[in-house]
A and B are shown apart, each in its own frame.
Chain A
């Protein structure tokens, strides 16, 4: 379908500091014992998109991710990995690989998106409107643990400032305004408002970081605006702002192509055809705006910024914070368990001691061992973990090769690989970085524990 897919997998994210490390870049962060990148790739594979470019920040991370992909998706996907320097942002990453982009339209997907919205829907909307950019919006996920723990309210309060302000036209097809953070005042283009007449401001939608760009437009913007760092914060708002006064350069390229190919038919007939076609459809506000008062052909250039709003029943979350990590782990094992790809089914069931109970919505990796009288509720435990007796694990994620001593109580925490918890450790809402050793009897609450970087 003449679409090229770029997966921006990222590298080491600061938001997820104790969880990700040099050995474990963000794309490989396990969600329900399965790297988060797997969810995106699996979904693309389902949509028959088998030719991908995965962009990873940092060369070491790229090698790790490449090794994992070649091991997992061999014979299934044709993946090319590009390593880009760190901290150049999403736009910078695209700029770095822009000479590899050849298709007419580019689908850009964030590697940390866990969603069941088919990318085809976005692509189809993009094609139908012949848009410059189409973005996917989804409703903001419910965050915080299901049971209203003490942390729930607090996290929600913390999240308040992170809404997107999104302006839509009455038919909910075009994007008129986008701002990432609540500012004191939002500037709305008068021109756009005048052309549309009515704008609907929404704050209950989230930019899902799945975009379809027209290649010529994207490359043009990246070339000209070389200070743009981020797709979401620079490129997209720029395109939305300039949709009615788009610089001629945005439209010149496709027209030049047309003229060269249509030499056979005279220019007059071409105009005729385009007029018939234009008259046949209900014009969007772009068309009306670009018309001159006397109805002659347009002198003002416009481009369309479209949205695809995922239905509220579909699942769509980005893994961009520790809270989101917890949420996704919870949902993937619970409500949204259809997201788990079939190759992720647990191996031989782990060894459980006597009187040990494993509640619903749990996932235990292969080779893990648990002692007597343990309780596991709504938690994920990785491979080859050793858990002693009288251990309580609630609402937590335990990664691979973790040793937990007797009598530990773990609530709402993330414990990374190779961590050692000695006896009677109590953790609540903590993140423990890889390879950390928690000494016996210690208690922590809402802390982030990690080895000191040498």
Chain B
């Protein structure tokens, strides 16, 4: 008996035990490397509490976004303004002059336009469809203003002032004392006038007074108003199309935002790109997690397709795919994100008067916050983003733009190749040594690494059997099963409910992970903990395969404080079976709450070994990897 474990469960009733704890887990009897004494998780309850605080306190979340750099805002905006005319000019460069024979028609164009129709006789020769000639394009209408600055900037000034406290503030700073005074007076007079309006009927005398009063105000008002208008318009113009992006980035929701905090949620909603209506019935314990009405986000985001100007198409596409569930799995999501970022960097050009390092970081941050709105980031993606931002920040200043871009793109490629693909290969190499002839291997869900291990072992000619355990509603195991069976592996497929029955035959359990936290907790697909616990009870070794880039220094004891909520409809309905509709009409009932969790946390007690690119380690050694890995690689 492990004295540590029994002490913890018996002598400390105050610790909330969430997740899976068998009362007195039997000692494991496996031939794997011996377990190290956990350095950061001593059994005393006091230190457990300390650990408990750390995730919300000082530990950095993986998707932390550095604050925005605002120091040179105005300057840069003016620069933007200054550069726009050439763009309009380039439009007019396309224009053609009127040929003389066309004058009568062309005169119907408004005079003074640079643009007129051109008529080329060559555009009309044959009517035969097969040899349709190339027709000429004629510019008939141009946009003289740069895009983003609408012509109604002046007219909309009042709204702008209301909407944007920021611009109002700059206005306040800019007005001189006299102007402020005039403004104040005008406001006072207006107030008085409004008051008088109400009492107009009652007394004529007061009317005289107010009319006398309003006169000067009227005199001052237009001037101040005009001032407002022009200034706000000017600041609006300066804002240009960069302003919304900046705002969004500045207020990018904290990744660990507590969604039961109403005021913060309201604020976050205002700046959100994706309109999200929150689900009404949420389970009490999970109110702090974002939960939206599924099905409302996608159409809304789709309609805004062309309106999200600052978003790069590749990033947008990935966001859509996250939202609709077309891309799943930590590695795939990470690769898709990085490929989109690579595209974005390829098309990126530094705006004048800006430095690539700062502007690109801001740009990437805005992309990331968009992706978060589509689906919360996984820890692996958080680490990857950290890596990329670090690479951008470490770029030498002397580098030219094209060099910097190609360096970054190479870095991204390197990350994908080294941290994901190569490490998967190394993991496979390690893990295959643990598979012997006659083994029965159990896996849960669909993990890309586990799949490769199984396929590789099969290619090596090992004889083993695979049990694929699956769960509703996503049934990812079926896809894995399909690929395995096709390759000729002998498989058994069952659902997680039957895991205790099937576990008797199993000799090894291979699990994938979304992340491994520094106390050895494995954060993975919901149900993993259950499988690991059953395996532990049957004294079957549990091997978790996880790339080192998914490790995180956070400590998490339960799966409540950090998790993701899926679509509750997915569990209340059975796809393809319309007749199972017992919950129809109940979904919005006050006293029914549906909970579809995506992840859970497996305590390190149930994990025999973590297989990573640095070798096979006990879960207690994860902090070492986190520490070393970062120093050597991530921050290099």
Contacts and interface: CB of A to CB of B under 8 A. Distances in A.
Interface of A: 1-3, 47-50, 53, 55, 59, 62-63, 66-67, 69-71, 73-89, 91-92, 95-97, 99-100, 104, 118-121, 123-125, 127-128, 226-227, 229, 264-265, 269, 272-273, 276-277, 279-283, 293-295, 311
B145 interface: yes
A374 to B, nearest CB: 34
A204 to B, nearest CB: 20
Contacts of A63: 105, 117, 119
Given A1-B316, A97-B137, A119 B306 contact: yes
A71 B108 CA distance: 9
A265 B413 contact: yes
A96 B313 contact: no
Given A50-B147, A70-B140, A264 B410 contact: yes
B123 interface: yes
Contacts of B132: 84-85, 88, 92, 95-96
A411 B483 CA distance: 68
Contacts of B144: 75
A48 B141 contact: no
Interface stretch (B17-25, B318-326, B504-512, B521-529): B318-326
B608 to A, nearest CB: 26
Given A80-B139, A120-B307, A280-B332, A1 B313 contact: yes
Interface in B492-511: none
Contacts of A79: 139-141
A283 B482 CA distance: 12
Interface residues of B, number: 72
B245 to A, nearest CB: 15
B421 A273 contact: yes
A85 B127 contact: yes
Interface centre among B130, B143, B306, B333, by most chain A C-beta atoms within 10 angstroms, is B306
Contacts, number: 207
Given A78-B142, A80-B139, 11 more contacts: A62-B117, A70-B113, A79-B139, A92-B132, A120-B304, A121-B302, A121-B303, A123-B306, A124-B302, A128-B326, A276-B420
B448 A279 contact: yes
Given A79-B140, A83-B135, A227-B130, A280 B328 contact: yes
Nearest to B309: A48
B479 interface: yes
B303 A293 contact: no
B586 interface: no
A308 B448 CA distance: 32
A237 B316 CA distance: 29
Contacts of B307: 47-48, 120
B331 A127 contact: no
Interface centre among B105, B142, B145, B335, by most chain A C-beta atoms within 10 angstroms, is B142
Contacts of A227: 129-130
Given A127-B317, A227-B129, A264-B410, A53 B137 contact: yes
B416 A67 contact: no
Contacts of A283: 479
B469 to A, nearest CB: 18
Interface centre among A95, A264, A269, A273, by most chain B C-beta atoms within 10 angstroms, is A273
A160 to B, nearest CB: 31
Interface in B108-166: 108-110, 113, 115, 117, 119, 123-124, 126-127, 129-130, 132-145, 147, 151
B305 interface: yes
Given A67-B109, A70-B113, A276-B331, A120 B302 contact: yes
Given A127-B313, A265-B413, A277-B336, A71 B110 contact: yes
Contacts of B89: none
B91 A78 contact: yes
Interface centre among B134, B339, B487, by most chain A C-beta atoms within 10 angstroms, is B134
Contacts of B109: 67, 70-71
Interface centre among A69, A81, A118, A276, by most chain B C-beta atoms within 10 angstroms, is A276
Nearest to B147: A50
A63 B103 CA distance: 12
B417 interface: yes
B306 A48 contact: yes
A1 B317 CA distance: 10
A264 B413 contact: yes
A135 to B, nearest CB: 15
In the A-B complex, the 10 residue pairs with the smallest Cβ-Cβ separation, listed nearest first, are A120-B305, A280-B332, A124-B302, A295-B486, A66-B140, A118-B303, A80-B137, A121-B302, A79-B141, A124-B305
B410 A78 contact: no
Contacts of B110: 70-71, 74
Contacts of A123: 305-306
A1 B312 CA distance: 7
B275 to A, nearest CB: 13
B303 A120 contact: yes
Given A79-B141, A120-B304, A127-B313, A282 B335 contact: no
Contacts of B105: 63, 67
A74 B112 CA distance: 12
Contacts of B136: 82-83
B179 interface: no
A282 B416 contact: no
B299 interface: yes
B299 A121 contact: yes
Interface string B311-355: 001001100110011111101110110010000000000000000
B392 interface: no
A432 B325 CA distance: 56
A128 B448 contact: no
A127 B332 CA distance: 18
Interface in B245-275: none
A82 B138 contact: yes
15 contacts: A55-B135, A63-B105, A66-B117, A70-B141, A74-B110, A75-B141, A75-B145, A82-B138, A95-B132, A100-B137, A123-B306, A124-B301, A229-B129, A269-B416, A279-B448
A47 B306 contact: yes
A338 to B, nearest CB: 15
Interface string B211-240: 000000000000000000000000000000
Interface string B65-88: 000000000000000000000000
A227 B130 CA distance: 6
Contact of B483 (A55, A84, A92, A279): A279
A280 B329 contact: yes
A313 B417 CA distance: 48
B513 to A, nearest CB: 16
A294 B486 contact: yes
B406 to A, nearest CB: 9
Contacts of A295: 483, 486-487
B313 A2 contact: yes
A85 B124 contact: yes
B137 A81 contact: yes
B451 interface: yes
Nearest to A280: B332
Contacts of B145: 75
Contact of B328 (A66, A81, A281): A281
A66 B151 CA distance: 22
Contact of A127 (B316, B410, B448, B451): B316
Interface in B384-430: 410, 413, 416-417, 420-421
Given A63-B105, A277-B335, A3 B448 contact: no
A71 to B, nearest CB: 6
B94 to A, nearest CB: 8
Nearest to B487: A295
Given A74-B141, A273-B416, A97 B321 contact: no
Contact of A128 (B141, B151, B324, B483): B324
Contact of A281 (B124, B137, B326, B335): B326
A79 B142 CA distance: 7
Contacts of B303: 118, 120-121, 124
